[in-house]
Amino acid sequence: MLAVLCFLFLAFSGCSFSSSSDLDRWMQRDGRLKVLSTTAMIHDLVKEIGKERVDALALIQGEIDPHSYELVKGDEEKFAFASLVFYNGLGLEHGASLYYKLKSHPFAYALGERVRRKHPALILEKEGQLDPHLWMDISLWKEAAFEIAELLKEKDPAGKESYEHNLQLLLDCMLKTHDEICRSLKEIPQEMRYLVTSHDAFGYFVRAYLSEPDERETGAWRARLAAPEGLAPDGQLGASHIKGVIAFLFKHRVRCLFSESNVSRASLKKIVSSCLAIGHEVRISKESLFGDAMGGRDSEADTYLKMIRCDAEVIKKELLCMP
């Protein structure tokens, strides 16, 4: 029965993209909680937990970079109308105008910060910066689902039973998908489980799905991941970054670089060119991964769980194809 429910969840969960008519409807007072989420990954959880009691809207839609998003015309009205605002935090939404609005809104909650307070040991850091990409590990992102449910219950106590029921259904599907991905990616030989992506958004994914248990204990899993750009894809690519990635490719005999759906391929192309110049043949993956953004409407990655499953399938296919 659980397998059937999870299939229906993955197949029919609504996507995060809103047309103008969706926005017009959302701006109507209909007795439901109006919840604004910064990212599609948060928005997807809100919809599954809130169901008919909540009217949910995603602020950052399509393949726009959430790291640098700035408010555009109409966004102020969305914030003013929202009963609750959920955002990731941990430095993800650092565009100046959005950051100010989130910090000044009376009912805006940083889910990542709330998870960090309860589970500080699970939050990654790199070069003194917190890694905000919690959603790349389903078993960790479920903690954000708990936080959403608690905040919805606080705002709408009459919906307590509904929120708790929906949360449990969601958690069951999340953990089932997490376990399936763990088993699937363990079929990749250990010596081939190395990942190079456009920017450093896959740390939680590698720790959860490509590493060995002892590596997670010691932190040695970090040696399985490299990226030319940092936690935010700012395009600042220096010679040292290229040399570091090339050294990684040589050391681990990696021949595939993974592009991301909303990040320029320019840095990866530079690495491919540099490698070819010294006789090391590498290629960019045929399919892009989804890191900071989900797929478009009716795509194979238009819900959160479908997005992570899609990433896992692409990574497995490409790594197993390496000579």
pLDDT surpasses 60 at 17? no
pTM for this prediction: 0.91
Domains of the chain: 2-179 (3.40.50.1980), 185-320 (3.40.50.1980)
Read off the pLDDT of residues 270-282 as tens digits, 9 standing for 90 and up.
899 999 888 889 9
Among 9-18, 96-105, 300-309, the minimum mean pLDDT is found in 9-18
Read off the pLDDT of residues 164-203 as tens digits, 9 standing for 90 and up.
999 999 999 999 999 999 999 999 999 999 999 988 999 9
More confident residue, 170 or 16: 170
pLDDT surpasses 80 at 9? no
Residue 6's pLDDT is: 65
Read off the pLDDT of residues 49-73 as tens digits, 9 standing for 90 and up.
999 999 999 999 888 899 999 999 9
Read off the pLDDT of residues 198-254 as tens digits, 9 standing for 90 and up.
889 999 999 999 999 999 999 999 999 999 888 777 656 667 878 899 999 999 999
SS3 annotation, the chain: CHHHHHHHHHHHCCCCCCCHHHHHHHCCCCCCEEEEECCHHHHHHHHHHHHHHEEEEECCCCCCCCCCCCCCCCHHHHHHHCCEEEECCCCCCCCHHHHHHHHHCCCEEEHHHHHHHHCHHHCCEECCEECCCHHHCHHHHHHHHHHHHHHHHHHCHHHHHHHHHHHHHHHHHHHHHHHHHHHHHCCCCHHHCCEEECECCCHHHHHHHHCCHHHHHHCHHHHHEECCECCCCCCCCCHHHHHHHHHHHHHHCCCEEECECCCCCHHHHHHHHHHHHCCCCCEECCCCECCCCCCCCCCCCCCHHHHHHHHHHHHHHHHHCCC
